[in-house]
Each structure stands twice: as structure tokens, then as C-alpha cells.
């Protein structure tokens, strides 16, 4: 077959695929007027599900059933009244103010039993969305067909990362609320954002400027290939800039006068290594007279696989979440034992700064 006829056939196949996708979007449970968990990504999910249906009928059947369950969960959430509504039951009265007061004073061990049902269900809804998108993504990457191009896989990967980052932001806000050492004014602002997130989890409403900022920080970090080198972070920082990390975020960590703990936290974020590991590496470099180190030398010095700290994690949707949870666990240990090093993650320092900015703006407005 000539190259001309081959190209013509590919164009015809692509046109037919697009026609089938449009037909798929008008059928079954995904009618245009029906609530859908990925409202802003509906066309993308439709295209991905069609590609899977054409190549792996068993996987499609399973994912279709999961998607139906997710839709029912979404509808159940939508059936709950707003958390901002006033309610009275059993001698107890609740409105927005009493809910914020509860969140600012609740004991962490009692949290699940004190939260409104809608808040508990909303958290489950967020994690269920993540699991469903993971199922779609990991099915797609096993399909090698013109109907499933790399562009589609990349877009689903980005949507999955976005959903994971939303859940991670939820945990960041919750950490502020449960932090006994945090100023009450900041806890109350964070609690208000949590209520907004719980209340609008099915409509994907924005919950503030810092959501976009922090998500952009994580998105940029996903495109950083750690070079190590001098361990000053120059190359990694330049990659953040090239990946369009928000200037407000970079200004906070670079231009403003931050203390050593916060600077160390940002280095942990850049390299994906703990403060203790970075200290160990710098000590070995000094002892051996090294000015730069490579990934192989880092792996040898730490005597462990680098995992999420490696050079290419752009195909791992969990990398940001895993990195944050590991750094957070280390920070909590330092705080509880008074060990040297940052007692918060870089993201927590940034969230506190943004919440404080919001508090000042609110104070000045009144």
C-alpha cells in the first residue's frame, strides 16, 4: 500500500473514531443533561471510555459499573442539604458559625465522629473519583492502538493528578484545623475553606486563590527532573520556573525572608529527600571533597532506591502525594521529639502564609 493510501486510511479511521465517540456521548448514562462526576472533563472521560471499550471489553464493563456507582454516590451527596444551612435536631443547633467553632476545637481522635455526614461522604467521594480515574489511566497505558494515542493518556494522567492534588489540599487544610499550635484566626479560615470543599465537591467549585497556587506548584514539581549536583537546588529551581510555577510561590520561598527551617523544607520539596538525608549527603560530599554528586552516587550514599526522589516520575500519579506524606511524617517526628530540621512541609508553610494573607485582607476590608 502506498504511503498516500496509508495516510488516507489513517485519517478515515480517526474520523470514524471521532464519530463513534460523539455517538457514545449521546447514549446510556452519559446523556448531556445528566449529572456527571467529572463535569469539566466529560469529553475526556467519554473519549477514554470509548477507547477502552473498543480494545478491552472486560475492562470497560468493570469501569462502566464503577462509574455508575460513582454517579450514584455523587447524587447521594447532592441530596444532602448544604452544610451552610441552619439545622436543629435533638436539642442541638448548627449553623456555619457553630460548625466552624466545632472544627477549630475538635480533638483529632474524635474527628470522624464529630464531622457532619456530608463531610465524611465527601471525603469518600474524592477518593472514589481518584480510584476510578486510576482504573481508566492504568487500563489506557496498556492499550497500544491509534484509538488510544499518547495525547489521550497524558490528558487522563493530568486529570488524575489534578484529582489527587485536590484531595491533598483537603488534607493540608485539615492539618491546619487540627494543629493546636496554629492561630485560631487561621484555623477558622481553613475551616471555612473545608466547609466549602465538602459542600461543593460534586460541582468542582473553586475554594480560593491558594488552591490554584498550590496545585500549580505540584504540577510544576511533576515536571522537575532532579539533578542533585551541588545540592543547592539551582537546576531544580530553574525547572520549576520553566514549568510555570506561580511567581507568588517562588517569591515566597526565594525573595521573602524565611527562616532556616522553611528553607530546609523547600529543599526537601525540591529534591524529594528528607532533611536528614540531605544533611548526610552534604557531610559525605565534604568528607570526600566532592563539589557535585550524581543520582547514582546519591543512591549509593543513601543505600536505598530513590523512588519518588528519582529523575523521572512523570508517569507516576502518586508521586506528589507520596512525597508529601513522607515529608509530613518526618516533620511530625521532629516536632514531637524536638529534633533538628523543619517541623512542617513546604506546602504547609505556604498554606499558612496564604491563609495569613487572606486574614490580613479580610481585616483590612473591615
Same domain, residue pair 156 and 297: no
pTM: 0.79
Which range marks the domain in which residue 131 is found? 1-204
Cell numbers 444551612 label which residue? 85
- Pairwise CA distance, residues 150 & 132, whole Å: 20
Same domain, residue pair 156 and 288: no
Mean of pLDDT values over 171-187: 90
Q: Which of 40-54, 134-148, 245-259 bottoms out in mean pLDDT, i.e. has the lowest?
A: 245-259
Same domain, residue pair 218 and 188: no
pLDDT at residue number 209: 64
SS3 120: helix
Is residue 125 a contact partner of residue 200, using CB atoms and an 8 Å limit? Answer: no
Residue 251 has pLDDT above 90, yes or no: no
pLDDT category at 91 given cuts 50, 70, 90 is confident
- Pairwise CA distance, residues 334 & 329, whole Å: 9
Cell numbers 474524592 label which residue? 126
Same domain, residue pair 173 and 220: no
Same domain, residue pair 185 and 231: no
DSSP for 176-220 reads: HHH-TTS-HHHHHHHHHHHHHHHHTTTTT----HHHHHHHHHHHH
Same domain, residue pair 126 and 182: yes
Cell numbers 481508566 label which residue? 136
Same domain, residue pair 70 and 175: yes
Same domain, residue pair 184 and 262: no
Mean of pLDDT values over 215-243: 86
Q: Last residue of a domain, which of 154, 173, 204?
A: 204
Same domain, residue pair 58 and 127: yes
Q: Last residue of a domain, which of 204, 226, 242?
A: 204
pLDDT at residue number 84: 86
Instruction: For helices 150-178 and 319-337, give the axis angle rounded to 10 degrees.
Output: 20
For the chain, give the mean pLDDT: 82
pLDDT at residue number 9: 46
Mean of pLDDT values over 266-282: 92
Same domain, residue pair 252 and 178: no
pLDDT at residue number 16: 38
Mean of pLDDT values over 244-250: 83
Number of domains in the chain: 2
Mean of pLDDT values over 94-103: 88
| Of 325 and 1, the one with more pLDDT | 325
Q: Last residue of a domain, which of 171, 188, 204?
A: 204
| Percentage of the chain modeled with pLDDT above 70 | 84
| Of 169 and 89, the one with more pLDDT | 169
What's the CA dihedral at 98, 103, 106, 109 to 10 degrees? 140
Q: Which of 43-52, 153-162, 298-307 bottoms out in mean pLDDT, i.e. has the lowest?
A: 298-307
pLDDT at residue number 366: 63
pLDDT category at 35 given cuts 50, 70, 90 is low
Residue 304 has pLDDT above 90, yes or no: no
| Percentage of the chain modeled with pLDDT above 90 | 41
Same domain, residue pair 195 and 247: no
Q: Which of 47, 37, 23, 34 is nearest to 156 (CA)?
A: 47
pLDDT at residue number 118: 93
Same domain, residue pair 91 and 116: yes
| Of 294 and 38, the one with more pLDDT | 294
Residue 26 has pLDDT above 50, yes or no: no
pLDDT at residue number 303: 84
Amino acid at each position: 500500500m502506498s504511503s498516500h493510501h496509508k495516510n488516507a486510511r489513517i485519517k478515515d479511521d480517526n474520523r470514524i473514531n471521532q464519530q463513534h465517540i460523539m455517538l457514545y456521548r449521546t447514549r446510556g448514562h452519559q446523556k448531556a443533561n445528566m449529572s456527571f462526576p467529572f463535569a469539566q472533563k466529560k469529553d475526556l472521560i467519554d473519549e477514554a471510555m470509548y477507547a477502552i471499550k473498543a480494545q478491552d471489553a472486560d475492562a470497560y464493563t468493570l469501569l462502566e459499573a464503577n462509574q455508575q456507582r460513582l454517579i450514584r454516590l455523587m447524587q447521594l451527596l447532592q441530596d444532602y442539604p448544604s452544610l451552610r444551612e441552619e439545622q436543629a435536631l435533638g436539642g442541638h443547633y448548627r449553623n456555619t458559625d457553630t460548625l466552624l467553632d466545632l472544627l477549630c476545637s475538635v480533638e483529632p481522635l474524635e474527628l470522624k465522629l464529630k464531622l457532619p455526614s456530608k463531610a465524611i461522604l465527601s471525603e469518600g467521594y474524592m477518593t472514589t473519583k481518584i480510584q476510578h480515574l486510576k482504573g481508566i489511566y492504568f487500563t489506557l497505558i496498556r492499550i497500544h492502538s491509534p484509538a488510544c494515542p499518547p495525547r489521550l493518556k497524558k490528558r487522563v494522567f493530568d486529570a488524575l493528578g489534578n484529582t489527587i492534588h485536590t484531595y491533598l489540599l483537603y488534607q493540608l487544610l485539615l492539618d491546619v484545623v487540627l494543629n493546636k499550635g496554629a492561630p485560631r484566626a487561621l484555623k477558622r479560615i481553613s475551616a471555612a475553606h473545608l466547609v466549602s470543599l465538602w459542600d461543593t465537591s460534586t460541582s468542582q467549585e473553586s475554594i480560593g486563590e491558594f488552591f490554584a497556587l498550590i496545585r500549580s506548584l505540584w504540577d510544576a514539581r511533576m515536571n522537575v527532573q532532579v539533578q542533585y549536583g551541588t545540592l543547592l537546588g539551582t537546576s531544580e529551581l530553574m525547572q520549576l520556573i520553566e514549568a510555570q510555577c506561580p511567581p507568588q510561590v517562588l517569591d515566597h520561598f526565594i525573595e521573602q525572608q524565611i527562616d532556616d527551617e522553611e528553607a530546609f523544607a523547600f529543599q526537601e520539596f525540591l529534591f524529594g529527600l528528607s532533611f536528614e538525608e540531605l544533611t548526610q549527603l552534604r557531610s559525605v560530599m565534604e568528607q570526600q571533597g566532592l563539589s557535585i554528586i550524581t543520582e547514582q552516587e546519591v543512591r549509593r550514599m543513601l543505600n536505598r532506591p530513590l523512588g519518588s526522589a528519582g529523575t523521572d516520575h512523570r508517569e507516576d500519579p502518586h508521586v506528589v502525594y507520596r512525597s508529601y506524606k513522607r515529608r509530613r511524617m518526618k516533620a511530625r517526628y521532629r516536632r514531637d521529639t524536638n529534633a533538628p530540621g523543619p517541623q512542617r512541609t513546604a506546602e504547609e508553610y505556604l498554606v499558612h502564609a496564604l491563609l495569613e494573607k487572606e486574614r490580613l485582607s479580610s481585616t483590612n476590608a473591615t
